[in-house]
């Protein structure tokens, strides 16, 4: 008797080949949200003039729509979101950081030359002597934008009336109404603000600058009280033909010397500057500038010492505890093992704050109780601060090593250790010649990963010491316990005019190559341990 066997499709195949109505509705809604966000991004990028990124957004959006609207291609449907997020949060970040490393991007160099010129013309002003004072009324248009209605009159000529805003220079109007003082107070298309409304918007009003013309170095009107407008002129004058800026007060001329900032012959500069491609200048500056090279050297040295000592100390302590608690004769093993991982489960930033209080020189528990009233400057001295960081990192890191070494020890066949003992090996010989080689086969890659983690262990350094004590002789914001990553953070995000994203990105590239080089040679070295297995 023949049996008719029908090939059954899996639920995944049925869902892919014959999607339900609810599946289609959810898919269309999600793609609609994606397309709406992409369309908004396209308009923003189009307005900003970033056509390359706009083309990338359009291409990715079309590709995602094609992948999810067509039938089949199930692997692509699962891979696409991960690839998009990887491109945004990893590939783009790496490429952009690499680009910034070859620019002078920073606090004073964060925009285009045109924006910098505009900012320089706006930042300073001087009242024009003997300039006429305008009578003023304040108006708003349909979008509630403030406008000046300025009246210029004298005894010999008829009144002339002008209207303008921060975005539009003064333009003469011919339809207006005058009040009893002979000042225009209204014109068609605008609404005059009352005194109460002026008070509500006084901060915006007092900051307004209405230019007389649309030239970049044009004079402009400002008002001290909302009833009069006074003519001001910029402190600087820009010569477009020579590409120079002249300071009006003393006639000093500033030139564009190709470094992204206007500079005088004596080295004086006018801020802000603008972003320029500087090639390898950031890398050369880090090597040749003594105020950067010296801090970089001791930070790099301490960074390696911190990572290596952290890995060694946590591994030794974790392995010692794992060996002790791996003995079946010990009672309460589960309780002790649970207690060992508590520091690992406790949030690192809370541990840093607790240790910061424990290390306090005046009232900390370590000085006052544990050391009987000692006066050790745990967080104020260079070497004591480094020891404090290593002890904190030991507290946070040994539970991890305890966990992985416990698992590795339990995977070692008991017959090997028993055979070694029968052959007369001591406990130390069993550990060094049997257990440790077998252990390293499993643990060595994790030790390399731990080194990479500690090399960039920003949280412990920054939360405990902020990188201090501070090195006041350095040209960059750096302390004696900073590692490369915390130093990069300070260079990039320090307050004031010290932010230098270009130099910080150059150091980030240095960190990448250091970690990549160490990891490469370390993993190659660990391959020799596989023969032991």
Domains with residue ranges and CATH for the chain? 21-100 (1.20.58), 125-256 (no CATH), 288-532 (1.10.3720.10)
99-103, 242-246, 296-300, 323-327: the lowest-pLDDT one: 323-327
Average pLDDT over residues 425-450: 86
Average pLDDT over residues 408-437: 84
pLDDT in tens, 354-393: 999 999 998 899 999 989 888 999 999 999 999 999 999 9
Residue 237, strand partner residues:
246
Side-chain-side CA neighbours of 264 within 13 Å: the count stands at 12
73-77, 231-235, 335-339, 494-498: the lowest-pLDDT one: 494-498
* Distance from the Cα of residue 150 to its chain's centroid: 46
Q: What is the pLDDT of residue 13?
A: 43
Alpha carbons 102 and 509: distance in angstroms, whole number: 11
**Res 16 pLDDT > 50:** no
DSSP state, residue 5 = P
Task: Copy the structure tokens of residue 351.
Answer: 């541990």
Better-predicted residue by pLDDT, 2 or 434:
434
Q: What is the pLDDT of residue 250?
A: 85
Q: What is the pLDDT of residue 495?
A: 61
Helix (H), strand (E), coil (C) string for 490-513: HHHHCCCCCCEHHHHHHHHHHHHH
pLDDT in tens, 212-255: 988 877 888 999 888 899 999 888 888 888 999 998 878 899 99
Better-predicted residue by pLDDT, 131 or 497:
131
Q: Is cis: bond before 469, omega within 30 of 0?
A: yes
Mean pLDDT of the chain: 87
Alpha carbons 318 and 394: distance in angstroms, whole number: 9
Q: What is the pLDDT of residue 391?
A: 96
Long-range contacts at 191-196 (CB < 8 A, ≥ 24 apart) = 191/139, 191/140, 191/141, 192/137, 192/138, 192/139, 192/149, 193/138, 193/139, 193/140
Q: What is the pLDDT of residue 497?
A: 58
Q: What is the pLDDT of residue 531?
A: 54
Average pLDDT over residues 188-200: 91
**Res 187 pLDDT > 80:** yes
Q: What is the pLDDT of residue 18?
A: 58
Is the Cβ–Cβ distance between 41 and 57 less than 8 Å?
A: yes
Is the Cβ–Cβ distance between 340 and 524 less than 8 Å?
A: no
**Res 155 pLDDT > 70:** no
Q: Is cis: bond before 336, omega within 30 of 0?
A: no
Q: Phi and psi at residue 41, in whole multiples of 5°?
A: -65, -35
Whole-structure pTM value? 0.73
Residue 500: partners with Cβ closer than 8 Å, 6 or more residues away: 106, 107, 476, 491, 492
Share of the chain above pLDDT 70, in %: 93
Task: Copy the structure tokens of residue 114.
Answer: 């045109």
The SS3 call for residue 136 is: strand
pLDDT in tens, 39-70: 999 999 888 788 888 999 999 999 999 998 88
Burial bucket for residue 38 (CB in 10 Å: 0-12, 13-18, 19+): middle
**Res 14 pLDDT > 50:** no
Alpha carbons 118 and 245: distance in angstroms, whole number: 12
Share of the chain above pLDDT 90, in %: 44
Residue 517: partners with Cβ closer than 8 Å, 6 or more residues away: none
């Amino acid at each position: 008797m023949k049996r008719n066997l029908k090939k059954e499709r899996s639920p995944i195949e049925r869902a892919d080949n014959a999607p339900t109505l609810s599946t289609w509705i959810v898919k269309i809604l999600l793609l609609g949200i994606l397309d709406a966000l992409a369309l908004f991004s396209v308009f923003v990028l189009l307005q900003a003039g970033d056509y390359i990124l706009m083309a990338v957004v359009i291409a990715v959006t079309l590709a995602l729509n094609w992948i999810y609207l067509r039938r089949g291609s199930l692997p692509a449907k699962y891979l696409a979101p991960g690839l998009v997020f990887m491109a945004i949060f990893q590939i783009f970040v790496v490429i952009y950081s690499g680009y910034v490393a070859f620019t002078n991007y920073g606090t004073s160099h964060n925009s285009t030359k045109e924006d910098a010129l505009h900012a320089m013309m706006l930042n300073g002003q001087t009242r024009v002597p003997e300039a006429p004072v305008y009578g003023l009324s304040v108006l708003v248009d349909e979008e509630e934008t403030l406008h000046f209605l300025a009246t210029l009159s004298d005894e010999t000529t008829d009144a002339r009336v002008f209207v303008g805003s921060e975005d539009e220079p003064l333009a003469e109007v011919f339809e207006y109404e005058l009040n009893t003082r002979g000042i225009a107070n209204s014109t068609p298309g605008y609404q005059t603000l009352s005194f109460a409304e002026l008070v509500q918007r006084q901060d915006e009003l007092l900051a307004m600058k209405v230019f007389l013309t649309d030239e970049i170095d044009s004079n402009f009107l400002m008002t001290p009280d909302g009833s009069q407008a006074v003519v001001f002129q910029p402190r600087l004058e820009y010569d477009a033909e020579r590409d120079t800026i002249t300071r009006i007060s003393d006639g000093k001329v500033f030139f564009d010397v190709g470094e992204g900032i206007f500079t005088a012959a004596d080295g004086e500069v006018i801020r802000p500057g603008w972003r320029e491609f500087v090639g390898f200048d950031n890398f050369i500056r880090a090597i040749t500038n003594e105020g950067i090279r010296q801090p970089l050297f001791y930070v790099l040295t301490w960074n390696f010492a911190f990572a290596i000592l952290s890995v060694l100390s946590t591994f030794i302590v974790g392995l010692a505890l794992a060996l002790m608690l791996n003995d079946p004769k010990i009672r309460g093993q589960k309780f002790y093992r649970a207690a060992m991982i508590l520091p690992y489960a406790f949030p690192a930033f809370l541990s840093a704050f607790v240790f910061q209080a424990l290390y306090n020189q005046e009232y900390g528990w370590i000085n006052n109780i544990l050391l009987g009233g000692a006066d050790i400057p745990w967080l104020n001295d260079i070497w004591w601060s480094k020891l404090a960081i290593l002890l904190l990192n030991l507290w946070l890191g040994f539970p991890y090593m305890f966990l992985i070494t416990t698992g590795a020890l339990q995977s070692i066949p008991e017959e090997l250790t028993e055979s070694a003992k029968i052959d007369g090996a001591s406990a130390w010989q069993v550990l060094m010649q049997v257990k440790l080689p077998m252990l390293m086969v499993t643990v060595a890659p994790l030790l390399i990963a731990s080194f990479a983690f500690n090399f960039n262990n920003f949280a412990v350094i920054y939360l405990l010491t902020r990188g201090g004590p501070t090195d006041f002789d350095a040209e960059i914001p750096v302390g004696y316990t900073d590692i490369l990553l915390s130093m990069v953070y300070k260079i990039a995000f320090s307050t004031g005019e010290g932010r230098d994203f270009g130099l910080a990105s150059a150091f980030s590239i240095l960190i990448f190559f250091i970690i990549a080089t160490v990891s490469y040679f370390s993993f190659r070295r660990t391959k020799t341990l596989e023969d032991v297995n």
